[in-house]
Structure 1
Amino acid sequence: MWSKIKRILIGRPLKSNELQEQKLNKLKALAILSSDALSSVAYGPEQILIVLAAVSIAAFWYSLPIAVGVLVLLTALILSYRQIIQAYPHGGGAYMVAKENLGMNFGLIAGGSLLIDYILTVAVSVSAGTDAITSAFPLLHPYNVGIAVVLVAIITILNLRGLTESATVLAYPVYLFVLALGVLIIAGLFQVLTGHAPATAHTAIGTPVMGVGLFLLLKAFSSGCSALTGVEAISNAIPNFKDPAPKNAAATLVMMGSILALLFSGIVFLAYWYGIAPSAKETVLSHLGSLIFGRNIFYYFIQATTALILVLAANTGFSAFPLLAFNLAKDKFMPRPFTVRGDRLGYSNGIITLGVASIFLIVIFQGNTENLIPLYAVGVFIPFSLSQTGMIIKWIRERPKGWIPKLLANLAGALICYLILIIFFITKFQHVWFSIIFIPLVIFVFHKIHKHYLAVGDQLRVDLSNKLKDVDVADNVIIVPVAGVTQVVKQSLIYARSLSDNVIAVFVGSSEEAIDRMEEQWEQWDTDIRLVTLHSLYRSVLTPLSKFIDTVLYKTEKSGTTVTVVMPQFYTKKWWQSLLHNQSGVIIRAYLVRTKNIVIATVPYRFKK
């Protein structure tokens, strides 16, 4: 049943040699790896206006120079990540840069921050997409959280179906969004140039406004920089590109940066010109569309494509999170299952983990985008800062040809990123304090996992100079817990006797009558196997059996004899039938695995009806 549902939802398994067919060309990669950055146009300009609105609508003209500052930082980041793609063509992005140039702990900070960021990418994108839907259909406002959870589940299933399939689906909404905003900006600029847009709705550029100081402008700038989230995703996902992967990734990065710059600057300018103020009931993009086109079909087309890309921007997280988790797991800082490809050749464990974690965040924050964005931005600007710093160290250490301009670009980017981080922690501490606790906790967990894997490797390592054929084989004592004379017990005893002549059957009875009855049946059965009977005063099978095994272990410890417990276990034909039977065998086996230095073998007996 489960297998059929899985096939319907995910599709047929793919062969390992089909991996190359799952690689992305530039247009598909732009769709799934740039959707996060491009979608931030829908809320980045609004975040600037929210800060400026605290003073007055007259301060909205400051959004223009702030937007220029955001574009300067975008340029520095694009140049930096192009260099990272060329220097680290196997992916890993900020994690690899920080690890190799600043040290492992800084790499883990970058990696841990990015993992958190990708979880927040999904939560923020889907929450913002839900806001866009409910802006167009206000009756749906009370169901924001439920809608967001369902959307995350759909995107998770879509990604489990494979990279190429998800990219094919996502390409249409992304390019439709770019087309819709392109038409919106062109139409808005046309109205401005022809005088059809209101010339009195905005304050003139340069108008002095009381209450606007450097601190407020820096706060608005840092909020606007939330539009840059997702820029690093391409550098993390280079292995997903078709060959030559680094060249295609670098070209895709430039395409993304150019589109983002045009859309962001266009929306900021039009929002200023039309004097649009942020509202809890309607997004800036929705208000702008209604002013330029009215509430006609094209307005709803803009809202629909905006909602789609905001929701599907989560796919950037689903594309990058599994690859980053793979790199961390490969270095033994995350569980090994994150290195395993699923049926559709994607890293399914990473995809499922991301989906569950983002749903948890949406429920905790009740889908409140404004509360999630500051935490989201901090999660991405820590890796931004560390990657810029790492590249500075790399250029100073290696000094390749033409390294000084690269160094200056990274230096400018690093200074701006650190400034933004400081502003965030000062102005929005109530929203971002969680990262101060959570990121060190994640690093601690990374180190504990790494320590465990090193300890396991040390204990499992084999000295090949000690030949296996020279190792003496010790005697084997077989203990078979029996609950009576049954087909299950018979099968287990036959198997035990094939392993050793030294077999002991152990029966635990809760009364003398039960023990006498068992001994009488055993004698009639004539097994030629020794039976040990134990009286359980408190009706527990586990306690007397465990004490008996301890006694055998103690007596065989010096001789090096192996003690094996053969567990008879029957399995019912229907799953619900197992609920009608006690699970003493499962309990005994679980206890022995945890506490005893013995070999455990399970002999299954399957019922046919």
Structure 2
Amino acid sequence: MFNVTGILKRLVIGRAMRSEELHETLLPKRLALPIFASDPLSSVAYATQEILLVLTVGGLAYLHFTPWIAAAVVVLLAVVVLSYRQVVQAYPSGGGSYEVVSTNLGPSSGLVVAASLLVDYVMTVAVSVASGVDNIISAVPELADYRVPMALGFVALLTAMNLRGVRESGRAFATPTYLFIGGVLIMIATGLFRYLVGDAPVAESAKYGIAAEPHEAHLTGLALVMLTLRAFSQGCTALTGVEAISNGVPAFRKPKPKNAATTMAVMGAISITMFAGVTTLAIVSKVHIAEDACRLTGLDGSCDTYTQRTVIAQIAAAVFGGEHSIGFYYIQAATALILILAANTAFNGFPLLGSILARDRYLPRQLHNRGDRLAFSNGILALAIVAGLLLWGYQANVTNLIHLYILGVFTSFTLSQLGMVRHWNRELRTETDPQTRRHHKLTRIINGTGAVVTGLVLLIVLATKFTQGAWLAVLAALVLWLMMRGIRRHYDATAAELAVTDPRSELALSSRVFAIVLVSTIHKPTLRALSYARAFRPTHLEALTVSVDREEAAALRERWEDYGIEVPLKIVDSPYREVTRPVVEYVRSIRRESPRDIVAVFIPEYVVGHWWENLLHNQSALWLKSRLLFTPGVMVTSVPWQLTSSARADHPAARAPGSVRRGEPPTVAKQPGRG
């Protein structure tokens, strides 16, 4: 069983890597781009669609706002990219927004950013995978009934790839990312060329009208402003994942800050070009899309059986000559791949941020441990589990999931830019070189502008999305913030309690050592435990058994005396057939009588070699130890006895620390011969 498990692990993850090989996992810019920027690059596949879905609640009347909203998103994206280039260069250690805010605005504000980003990373996986599945269904509608299993399967695949290490996942995901970028740029160039020569592409939905939702047909004043702001907030999904590069600076090759800043600039330029191009083609080809297909007018058949294609699918079909063209299938395949792989941004950002928080004692320390392939495996698995549960709970529905999205990332954007403004103010107070001061003042203006703009967007997102489900994201971030503060308090209290103030008093010998060996019958494990206990030369040594049957206890005492064992045997009656409680109470009674004494409890245990053998033995030793560990001044020692099967078991689990299979502890008096 363990051999099979080990083989499967090596097949999925690969060979274990030595700590000294960490430098081999560092990324060149060509691999870092698809790893850390696949999320913002892929968002062009659905950001335009989200704008149109909001505007069409009033029918076709408000679609003329599309170019202005898209232009606002482009400006915002440019500002955020420029701002984060300053973050990368000023804080290259990899903490990103969390480090910037913690350093300049305080630990509590830093935790707000960390909690928001962790929630947003989970949402990135859920939304990206669900959107990728949507595009697969657009090409093959028959797969609609398998939406959730497909989504969960892709999460499992991404998890396996990331467990193999950052560099391995980068190699696997680089080609699909560049294929998507190339395909979309070719589609944009082809569509715009056709438009300029008078042969504009026409979307399949251009012939359909859209009926307005009740009370949305003739909006004016504040209602119209709220509609456009809501569309803008939906379009801001194009900015998700921009901060991931700032968190991943340590993964770049040297010079790390320069390479990360260059990658950030390239990502921004490509994202802006593709988003602007896709939005322009959506307007030119007259794409009409609604959340409910039954609001489309002019359908040939029933709306219940009509499946709307995604915006990018309709554009590809219009540009390349129909839904059966090679170009259409290429774009659909590349889009589905990049959307699913966009979750890889979160699979890199979440574990890195989790490891930093664990280092700072805000999350369990296990998240700071590297796995066999030098990746933060525990963080990867935690992200996969939570995202999988979210996909299952929301049935992998993009429309429902998108409302929980982008709130956290704009919280991070706003606070990090405020932190950078304070950073530059502090630098300017000590800097005297005129040229350096001019540079600092310019970057302060960039970060200040970013703080104002992203702060306004955060307010818009809160106002337009809160009642539609974003409150769940706020609640999750709040719970996570409280949990991290609680974890930090626990670690601080533990460190304070364990701190050594007087080494001499701590090293002072105890008055006496009272040793107890737990016994059920006289066999080799019992005798080994007795010999081991005697080797410690305790002040007092005795054997202890719990009697659930008077005749069995009497038989055990008789054999004990016949063998001439010099260690006294103590029998504790248990009329209610309990084992753990009598032992614990007896040990505690010794502690009450002599509080300065140390009580050492030795427990003989079987070690089995196969998992199924463990089912044949009870686990009362584990329960006994867990109870005794809560008793001050009590030391618990396991004395293993390896059965023949454990000696024959040739597998890593049999040799690895912590993987020993323990069987029945001899703690209950039984008839001679029973095992």
2:161 & 2:584 partners in 1: Cα distance? Answer: 49
> For residue 462 of structure 1, what is the aligned residue in structure 2?
500
Deviations 1:377-407 (A, max 9, x none): 1021110111111112223333361233323
Q: Give 1:205's aligned residue.
A: none
Q: Which residue number in structure 2 is paired with residue 373 of structure 1?
A: 402
Is 1:276 the counterpart of 2:287? The answer is: yes
1:576 maps onto 2:612 in alignment? yes
What amino acid is aligned across from residue 599 of structure 2 in structure 1?
V
Aligned ranges 1:333-352 → 2 under 5 Å: 333-352=362-381
Moved more, 263-272 or 277-286: 277-286
- 1:431 equivalent to 2:469? Answer yes
Displacement of 1:465 in angstroms is 5.9
Deviates most, 272-281 or 24-33: 272-281
1:211 equivalent to 2:219? Answer: yes
Letter in 1 for 2:597: T
Q: How many residues align?
A: 601
Name the CA distance, whole Å, in 1 between partners of 2:644 and 2:268. Answer: 63
Residues 71-82 of structure 1: pairs in structure 2 closer than 5 A: 71-82=74-85
Task: After the TM superposition, list the runs of 4 or more consecutive aligned residues in structure 1 that deviate by more than 3 angstroms.
Answer: 198-202, 463-468, 594-597
Q: C-alpha separation between the residues in 1 aligned to 2:511 and 2:444?
A: 66
- Deviation (angstroms), 1:275: 0.7
Cα distance in 2 between the residues matched to 1:214 and 1:578? 67
Deviates more, 1:111-120 or 1:570-579: 570-579
Q: Deviations over 1:142-161 (max 9, x none)?
A: 11111000100110010000
Can you list the C-alpha shifts for 1:537-576, whole angstroms capped at 9, x where unaligned?
111111221221112112221xx22111101111223221
| Paired residue type of 2:406 | A
- The residue that corresponds to 2:300 in the other structure is none
Instruction: Give runs of aligned pairs for residues 249-398 of structure 1, distance below 5 A.
Output: 249-279=260-290, 281-293=308-320, 294-295=322-323, 296-398=325-427
**SS of the residue aligned with 1:53?**
helix
- Report what 1:206 is aligned to: none
Which structure 2 residues correspond to residues 183-194 of structure 1 after superposition, within 5 A?
Answer: 183-194=186-197
Q: Is the 8 A contact 1:60 1:275 kept in 2?
A: no
Equivalents in 2 of 1:580, 1:408: separation in Å? 71
Structure 2 unaligned segments of length 5 or more: list them.
208-216, 292-307, 432-436, 646-675
Q: CA-atom RMSD, angstroms?
A: 1.9
- CA–CA distance in structure 2, aligned partners of residues 471 and 517 of structure 1: 43
Shift of 1:464: 7.1
Is 1:229 aligned to 2:240, yes or no? yes
Alignment of 1:50-199 (within 5 A): 50-197=53-200
Alpha-carbon distance in 2 for matches of 1:276, 1:424: 25
Give the TM-score normalised by the residue count of structure 2.
0.86
- DSSP 3-state at the match of 2:57: coil
CA deviation after TM superposition for structure 1 residue 376, in Å? 1.6
Report the secondary structure of 2:515's partner residue. Answer: strand
Distance 1:597 1:448 in 2: 28
AA aligned to 2:514 is: V
Q: Which moved more, 1:256-265 or 1:518-527?
A: 518-527
Q: Which moved more, 1:372-381 or 1:53-62?
A: 53-62
Q: Which residue of the other structure, out of 631, 634, 659, is the alignment partner of 1:598?
A: 634
446, 450, 471: which one pairs with 2:488? Answer: 450
d(CA) in 2 for partners of 1:419, 1:374? 18
Moved more, 548-557 or 177-186: 548-557
Contact conserved, 1:492 with 1:568, CA < 8 A, in 2? Answer: yes
Q: Percent identity?
A: 40
| Paired AA for residue 233 in structure 1 | A
The aligned amino acid for 1:165 is E
For the residue of structure 2 that corresponds to 1:375, the secondary structure is coil
Further displaced range: 404-413 or 139-148? 404-413
Contact 1:477 1:500 in 2 (8 A): no
Q: Deviations over 1:224-251 (max 9, x none)?
A: 1111101100001100000000000000
C-alpha distance in 1, partners of 2:609/2:31? 47
The code of the aligned residue for 2:26 comes to K
Cα distance, 1:330–1:277 mapped onto 2, change above 3 Å: same
Q: Distance in 2 between matches of 1:536 and 1:26?
A: 70
Give the distance between the partners of 1:316 and 1:464, measured in 2 at CA: 49
Q: Which residue of structure 2 aligns with residue 472 of structure 1?
A: 509
8 A Cα contact 2:194 2:200, kept in partner: yes
The answer as to 2:597 corresponding to 1:589 is: no
TM-score (norm 1): 0.95
